[in-house]
Amino acid sequence: MTLHELEDVARLIKMDTAPDTLRTGEPSVLALEAVEAKPLRDLVFVDVETGGFDETRHALIEVAAVRVSTPALEVVSVFDSKIVPVLEVTPEAAAINGYDPEVWKREARFLPEVLDELDPVMTGAKLAGQNPDFDARFLRYAFESVRSTKIRDSGFPKLASHHAIDTASLAWPFRLAGLIPNCKLATLVSFFGLGEQSHTAFGDVIHTIQVYRRILDLYRTLGLRLPEPT
């Protein structure tokens, strides 16, 4: 890329409206084309609790998923379960998410059973969450691991899109404005007056949906025309 092309890109980034042409006056490769709006798919908000940060070494110990319609955010289906750990749970992780071997011995279910019930809740929906890449990474590894044992025929659920909605990213403008010190879930929960983060999968997924709704409300007050939830 030449210096002039770099200057063009820098100028386009600073523009307030979508660019139609580059400096040369020729059609811009960045020009936005009008496309026919597609029907909005359900969102599935997912949260997992884990035994650490490495899905290949640390256990998936809890998962919750709430599927909602768009834009009404009406609940379509809910899933929540503790999972019998098959990998390591570090003391540091247990201190945060409350993992107790005795409680899990009574309440947790085996991973294949959990994934069988989670699959239809996720399939066909658009993934959403607080840093959903983390949750998807652990779930994808779990689905593929179980499939490799021939217990399940299929792997990770087929979602409506490979793009995900991240509440942390949606909150970034508030961080830039100095309204919040970071975009962590605990910070957003506090900022919106929703209490304290629970660090359970179900509690966190409910908080994430509440945060998502309030972020959209704030966008509306700033003049963005969004469909109103019921």
pLDDT in tens, 21-70: 444 444 444 444 444 556 789 999 999 999 999 999 999 999 999 999 99
Q: Half-sphere exposure of residue 108, counting CA atoms within 13 Å on the CB side?
A: 21
Q: pLDDT, tens digit, for every residue of 120-159?
A: 999 999 999 999 999 999 999 999 988 755 555 566 888 8
Pairing of strands 165-166, 60-68: unpaired
Residue 146 has what pLDDT?
A: 85
Q: What is the mean pLDDT of the segment spanning 8-12?
A: 55
SS3 sequence of 91-144: HHHHHHHCCCHHHHHHHCECHHHHHHHHHHHHCCCEEEECCHHHHHHHHHHHHH
Q: Distance (Å, rounded) from C-alpha 53 to C-alpha 96? A: 13
DSSP state of 17: S
Q: Distance (Å, rounded) from C-alpha 46 to C-alpha 94? A: 20
Pairing of strands 43-50, 60-68: antiparallel
Residue 221 has what pLDDT?
A: 86
Q: Distance (Å, rounded) from C-alpha 220 to C-alpha 84? A: 43
Q: Where are the domains of the chain?
A: 1-35, 43-221
Q: What is the mean pLDDT of the segment spanning 1-22?
A: 52
The pTM assigned to this predicted structure is 0.82
- Report the CATH fold assignment for 43-221: Nucleotidyltransferase; domain 5 (3.30.420)
Flag whether pLDDT at 80 surpasses 70: yes
CA distances from 37 to 28, 40, 72 (A): 23, 9, 17
